[in-house]
Amino acid sequence: MLRFVLTRLGILIPTFIGVTLLTFAMIRMIPGDAVELLVGERGLDPARHAQLRAELGLDRPLLEQYWHYISGVLQGDLGKSIVTRQPVAEEFFTLFPATVELSVCAMLFAVLLGIPAGIVAAIRRGTSVDHVVMGTALTGFSMPIFWWGLLLIILFSGTLGWTPVSGRISLIYFFEPVTGFMLIDSLLADQPGAFASALSHLVLPTVVLGTIPLAVIARQTRSAMLEVLGEDYVRTARAKGLAPWRVIGIHALRNALIPVITVIGLLVGVLFGGAVLTETIFSWPGVGKWLIDSIHRRDYPSVQGGILLIATTVILVNLLVDLVYGLINPRIRHQR
């Protein structure tokens, strides 16, 4: 187990460095003058241009620039946004909780619906239940989630009027954010109807963002279960005369969940990509929307910082998932 942990941690560092290299190189690769890009002004007179160039350190050798960049990153300095003149890191972390809240809810939605669906499909393999569940999963997997979101808005917000169209909470409520998580904050604020409002704003984005993970988890659970159900130890469990729910729910599931955990790890990346689209549709004030807006506004320091932070988050979450996997898989847990 220790070896496993150390190996995983060992890979972390080169991967992180690789990502910083990518974001560092990114700016240099954009066509156009680097000074103009980073400052956001065009047509600078030569003197000012030279002065800014020296300030930004762009006249130094590349390696020194990279060192300057990465030491800044490790101290939390990711530059300033061209548009708002605020530190990029600060802007990011203000918006980050919104994305996290949405992603966590979406993942919960996907897991709580997807795993049971996959189990049922595996047990009733070949029947219409199996076909329906898998067909639905495949459809969810095949549709563009931004369209799905728009469709749900048309149906639930437009025609039925049940849910709001955008934002995290109705504008009539205002309170200081404590944790940044609207569900928690609205409970703490103790204003009547605030929590319900936060919840209703969360419903559609959660469903939309969680649809693809739901489909993937359902499919993966089904195929993992089918494989496990054919294993010798399941046959032994049946030969013991154990009740079916025990054979499936305890003996089979415990083993089938192991590959499903791996899939959940892979889904974190998908979630962030989906968050970008979901936040755009629902005007959800998270980092995904902020990133796209920054690209359209040519706010390159924000883009650079945002990519780095998001990639780092994904890497860390993947590491966590890997560690959990190591704990659950008994063969790895008992290695030295």
Partner 1 sequence: MSDAATAAVEAGQQAPPHPLREFWGYFRQNRGAVVGLAVVLTVMFTALFAEFVAPHDPHEQYREHFLEPPFWAAQGSFEFPLGTDAVGRDIFSRIVHGARYSLIIGFIVVALSLTVGVTLGLLAAFFRGVFEALVMRAMDIMLSMPSLLLAVVVVAILGPGLFNAMLAISITYLPFLVRLTRAAAITELSKDYVVASRVSGAGLPRLMVITVLPNCMAPLIVQATLSFSNAILDAAALGFLGLGAQPPTPEWGTMLAEAREFVLRAWWVVTFPGLAILVTVLALNLLGDGLRDALDPKLKR
Partner 2 sequence: MAGREPLLEIRNLAVSFGPLRAVDGLDLHVDEGEVLGIVGESGSGKSVAMLAVMGLIGFPGIVSADLVRFAGTDLASLDKRARRDLVGNDVAMIFQEPMTSLNPCFTIGYQITETLKAHQGGTRRERRERALELLGQVGIPDPARRLGSFPHQLSGGMNQRVMIAIAIACRPKLLIADEPTTALDVTIQAQILDLLLGLQREYGMALVLITHDMGVVAETAQRVSVMYAGQQVEEQDAAALFAHPRHPYTQALLEALPERGAGRARLPTIPGVVPGLYDRPPGCLFNPRCAHAESDCREQVPPLERDARGRVRCLHPLGHGPA
Residue 254, binding choice from partner 2, partner 1, none, Cβ under 5 to 8 Å by partner class: partner 2
Binding site for partner 1 (CB under 8 A): 11, 14-15, 18-19, 22, 26, 29-31, 135, 138-139, 141-144, 146-148, 150-151, 153-154, 157-158, 165, 269-274, 276-277, 280-281, 291-292, 295-296, 303, 307, 310-311, 314-315, 318
Residue 157, binding choice from partner 1, partner 2, none, Cβ under 5 to 8 Å by partner class: partner 1
Q: Please tell me the distance from the alpha carbon of residue 272 to that of residue 105, in angstroms, as a whole number.
A: 13
Q: Which is nearer to partner 1, 96 or 177 (CB)?
A: 96
Residue 49, binding choice from partner 2, partner 1, none, Cβ under 5 to 8 Å by partner class: none
Q: Which is nearer to partner 1, 8 or 60 (CB)?
A: 8
Q: Which is nearer to partner 1, 96 or 146 (CB)?
A: 146
Residue 255, binding choice from partner 1, partner 2, none, Cβ under 5 to 8 Å by partner class: partner 2
Q: Which is nearer to partner 1, 30 or 323 (CB)?
A: 30
Q: Which is nearer to partner 1, 189 or 315 (CB)?
A: 315
Rg (CA), the chain: 24
Q: Please tell me the distance from the alpha carbon of residue 253 to that of residue 268, in angstroms, as a whole number.
A: 22
Q: Which is nearer to partner 2, 68 or 124 (CB)?
A: 124
Q: Which is nearer to partner 2, 3 or 254 (CB)?
A: 254
Question: Three-class SS string for the chain?
Answer: CHHHHHHHHHHHHHHHHHHHHHHHHHHHHCCCCHHHHHHCCCCCCHHHHHHHHHHHCCCCCHHHHHHHHHHHHHCCCCCECCCCCCEHHHHHHHHHHHHHHHHHHHHHHHHHHHHHHHHHHHHCCCCHHHHHHHHHHHHHHHCCHHHHHHHHHHHHHHHCCCCCCCCCCCCCCCCCCCCCCHHHHHHHHCCCCHHHHHHHHHHHHHHHHHHHHHHHHHHHHHHHHHHHHCCHHHHHHHHCCCCHHHHHHHHHHHHHHHHHHHHHHHHHHHHHHHHHHHHHHHCCCCHHHHHHHHHHCCCHHHHHHHHHHHHHHHHHHHHHHHHHHHHHCHHHHCCC
Residue 236, binding choice from partner 1, partner 2, none, Cβ under 5 to 8 Å by partner class: partner 2
Q: Which is nearer to partner 1, 145 or 183 (CB)?
A: 145
In this structure, the number of other CB atoms found within 10 A of the CB of residue 178 comes to 10
Residue 130, binding choice from partner 1, partner 2, none, Cβ under 5 to 8 Å by partner class: none
Residue 40, binding choice from partner 1, partner 2, none, Cβ under 5 to 8 Å by partner class: none
Binding site for partner 2 (CB under 8 A): 125-126, 229-233, 235-243, 246, 251, 254-255, 330-331, 334
Nearest approach in angstroms of CB 228 to partner 2 is: 10
Residue 74, binding choice from partner 2, partner 1, none, Cβ under 5 to 8 Å by partner class: none
In this structure, the number of other CB atoms found within 10 A of the CB of residue 15 comes to 15
Nearest approach in angstroms of CB 282 to partner 2 is: 41
Nearest approach in angstroms of CB 246 to partner 2 is: 8
